[in-house]
Amino acid sequence: MKNRKTYSEIMRSRDTKKFKTPRESVLDIYIQMIIDESLFKRKKELLETKVNEAIDTRNEGLFMKASAEYRKLFSKTL
């Protein structure tokens, strides 16, 4: 005779709890948004400082590099 399991044994062996995916809370998402915005603003400030410094010192190489990074930063946000 075949070794058959009952329905309840099959359901217990499936362990349905492991199939549930963790849910992010709204608070977690909001915190991540604040962190991302803070990092964006800081990077923007640093690049603006580099661009202004390059203009003040008439350093064309630094200006081109910093302005390219600045444009790249804003192209990612769009």
pLDDT of residue 78: 60
Specify the pTM: 0.62
CB neighbours (10 Å) of residue 44? 14
Give the pLDDT band (50/70/90) at residue 2.
low
- The distance from CA 20 to its chain's CA centroid, rounded to whole angstroms, is 23
67 pLDDT band, cuts 50/70/90, is very high
Helix (H, G, I), strand (E, B) or coil at 5: coil
pLDDT digits (tens, 9 = 90+) for 21-57: 567 788 999 999 999 999 999 999 999 999 999 999 9
- Per-domain residue ranges for the chain? 22-77
The DSSP string of 29-43 is: HHHHHHHHHHHHHHH
